[in-house]
């Protein structure tokens, strides 16, 4: 990969330790993937924020970079292991909270915006069509490439942070026109009605289209929230972090239909639902907001909970600015009065919930994947109203 004189100077340590380390990471990546050069990025999203995933080794790594590192482009964070303010409500221990605060402190010292969310595009961090960014969380990356039409690879935590500290990323993969071309044509032969139907569609395509880019036909334009859950699901279950939907996503019209074709119909969606719905109907945890909830979703949960009370633990995860807005509008009070919690900055997967719950109900296919594999939970997936009923009854009906 070609480096400018200035980039070479950084690589040799001319701008200090954090910049040198970051340039080492970016040049190694660029060389492995055949990038020609580094390109500037408009924003960066860093993953690997939860102390649950980082541990002390990760915290030490960040603390070292924070000694002389500072970001060169707007940089923000993926969800952390707790609500940074109301962590006690979520049953987080003092020890964990102390470590998590140190992690956030290290990021903050590097000039990073400590808003922790996987739906930055809901809080005004929305790049333009064709703009280059370096984002790390898979659903955000997929939404960014597909729905917004901005360009990012699926960065790892260290490479995203390196991009923040340098302000650039290697020019390869989904930054290039030719790498965004679909190679699987998907015809959808089913009427999708709910948020979880879109999660099931992502499961069905992801499982069949391993590492391919889908060009999808046969669906009409859904609400933004449905595309956010679909983005999380399709990449989790196997496809590349980009898809195109005819008449819906901005780049779909640029491409020829790929010759490899599949059809997803009722049978494939049923199979997806069956894989994510356990036979045991007992529920002790209901988690909504994966990816992080919009204001509309929080409003809907508050309407469904008004005057009722939950039997299970119930979290509605979201970005802090969304929680604050929901607070002003009175939605959070209704959810709290029913016994639920609105959890900013965190989520069901990165919070330390392993061992606390046996069975989760959620609207999210991605949430099912990680709850089964990462947190050893049984899972149930369905629309918001069904999940809220499960929270009230402790049963999946």
Q: Which one of 18-26, 57-65, 272-280, 366-374 is the stretch in contact with ligand F3S (CB under 6 A)?
A: 366-374
CA–CA separation, 213 vs 181, rounded Å? 7
For ligand F3S, the closer CB: 78 or 249: 78
Of 137, 251, 268, 389, the one binding ligand F3S (CB under 6 A) is 137
Peptide bond into 291 cis (omega under 30): yes
DSSP annotation of 123 reads T
Q: Which one of 205-213, 290-298, 374-382, 383-391 is the stretch in contact with ligand F3S (CB under 6 A)?
A: 290-298
CA–CA separation, 210 vs 325, rounded Å? 39
Q: Tokens 């859950």 belong to which residue?
A: 229
For ligand F3S, the closer CB: 52 or 212: 52
Which residues ranging from 113 to 132 are in contact with ligand F3S (CB under 6 A)? 118
Q: Which one of 17-25, 145-153, 326-334, 343-351 is the stretch in contact with ligand F3S (CB under 6 A)?
A: 343-351
CA–CA separation, 377 vs 373, rounded Å? 8
Note whether 215 and 246 are within 8 A (CB). Answer: yes
Q: How far is the CB of 149 from ligand F3S (least distance, A)?
A: 20
Structure-token pair, residue 122? 């809901």
Structure-token pair, residue 173? 């993969």
Q: Provide the 3-class DSSP secondary structure of residue 316.
A: strand
Q: How far is the CB of 176 from ligand F3S (least distance, A)?
A: 26
For ligand F3S, the closer CB: 163 or 233: 233
For ligand F3S, the closer CB: 35 or 350: 350
Structure-token pair, residue 72? 């060169």
Please tell me whether residue 301 binds ligand F3S under the rule CB under 6 A: no
Please tell me whether residue 292 binds ligand F3S under the rule CB under 6 A: yes
Q: How far is the CB of 379 from ligand F3S (least distance, A)?
A: 13
- What residues does 186 pair with on adjacent strands? 216, 262
CA–CA separation, 69 vs 17, rounded Å? 8
Instruction: Please report the DSSP string for 268-314 in residue order.
Output: HHHHHHHHHS-S--B-SEEEEEEEEE-HHHHHHHHHHHTT---SSEE
Structure-token pair, residue 74? 């707007």
For ligand F3S, the closer CB: 115 or 187: 115
Of 134, 288, 319, 347, the one binding ligand F3S (CB under 6 A) is 347
Q: Which one of 99-107, 219-227, 255-263, 362-370 is the stretch in contact with ligand F3S (CB under 6 A)?
A: 362-370
Size of site (CB under 6 A) for ligand F3S: 16
Note whether 390 and 396 are within 8 A (CB). Answer: yes
Please tell me whether residue 79 binds ligand F3S under the rule CB under 6 A: yes
For ligand F3S, the closer CB: 30 or 120: 120
For ligand F3S, the closer CB: 135 or 396: 135
Residue from 57, 365, 76, 68 nearest 228 by CA:
365
Of 116, 123, 232, 344, the one binding ligand F3S (CB under 6 A) is 232
Note whether 210 and 269 are within 8 A (CB). Answer: no
Q: How far is the CB of 300 from ligand F3S (least distance, A)?
A: 17
What is the pairing mode between strands 184-189 and 168-170? unpaired
CA–CA separation, 286 vs 334, rounded Å? 16
Q: How far is the CB of 232 from ligand F3S (least distance, A)?
A: 5
Q: How far is the CB of 303 from ligand F3S (least distance, A)?
A: 22
CA–CA separation, 243 vs 276, rounded Å? 23
To which H or E segment does residue 75 belong?
Answer: strand 75-77
Please tell me whether residue 377 binds ligand F3S under the rule CB under 6 A: no
Please tell me whether residue 139 binds ligand F3S under the rule CB under 6 A: yes
Q: How far is the CB of 70 from ligand F3S (least distance, A)?
A: 25
Please tell me whether residue 300 binds ligand F3S under the rule CB under 6 A: no
List of residues contacting ligand F3S (CB under 6 A):
78-79, 118, 137, 139, 232, 290-292, 317, 347, 349-350, 366-367, 370
């Amino acid at each position: 990969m070609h480096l400018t004189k200035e980039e070479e100077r950084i690589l040799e340590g001319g701008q200090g330790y954090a910049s040198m380390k970051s340039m080492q990471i970016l040049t190694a990546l660029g060389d492995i993937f055949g990038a020609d050069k580094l390109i500037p990025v408009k924003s960066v999203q860093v993953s690997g924020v939860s102390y649950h995933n980082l541990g002390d080794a990760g915290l030490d790594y960040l603390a070292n970079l924070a000694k002389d590192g500072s970001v060169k482009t707007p940089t923000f964070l993926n969800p952390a292991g707790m609500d940074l303010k109301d962590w006690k409500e979520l049953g987080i221990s003092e020890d964990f909270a102390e470590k998590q605060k140190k992690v956030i402190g290290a990021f903050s010292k590097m000039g990073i915006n400590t808003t922790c969310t996987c739906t930055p595009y809901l809080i005004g961090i929305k790049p333009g069509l064709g703009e280059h960014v370096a984002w790390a969380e898979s659903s955000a990356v997929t939404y960014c490439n597909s729905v917004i039409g901005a360009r990012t690879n699926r960065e790892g935590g260290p490479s995203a942070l390196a991009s923040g500290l340098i302000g650039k990323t290697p020019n390869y993969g989904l930054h290039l026109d030719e790498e965004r071309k679909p190679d699987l044509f998907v015809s959808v032969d089913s009427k999708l009605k709910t948020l979880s139907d879109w999660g099931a569609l992502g499961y069905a395509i992801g499982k069949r289209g391993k590492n391919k880019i889908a060009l999808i036909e046969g669906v009409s334009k859904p609400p933004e929230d449905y595309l956010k859950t679909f983005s999380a699901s399709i990449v989790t279950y196997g496809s590349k972090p980009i898809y195109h939907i005819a008449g819906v996503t901005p780049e779909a019209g640029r491409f020829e239909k790929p010759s490899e074709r599949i059809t997803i119909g009722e049978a494939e969606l049923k199979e997806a639902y069956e894989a994510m719905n356990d036979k045991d109907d007992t529920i002790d945890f209901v988690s909504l907001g994966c990816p992080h909830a919009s204001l509309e979703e929080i409003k809907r949960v508050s309407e469904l909970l008004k005057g009722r009370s939950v039997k299970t633990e119930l979290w509605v995860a979201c970005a802090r600015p969304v929680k604050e807005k929901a607070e002003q509008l009175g939605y959070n009070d209704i959810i709290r009065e029913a016994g639920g919690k609105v959890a900013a900055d965190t989520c069901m997967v990165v919070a330390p919930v392993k061992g606390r719950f046996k069975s989760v109900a959620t609207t999210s296919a991605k949430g099912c994947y990680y709850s089964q594999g990462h947190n050893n939970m049984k899972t149930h997936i369905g629309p918001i109203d069904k999940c809220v009923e499960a929270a009230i009854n402790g049963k999946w009906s």
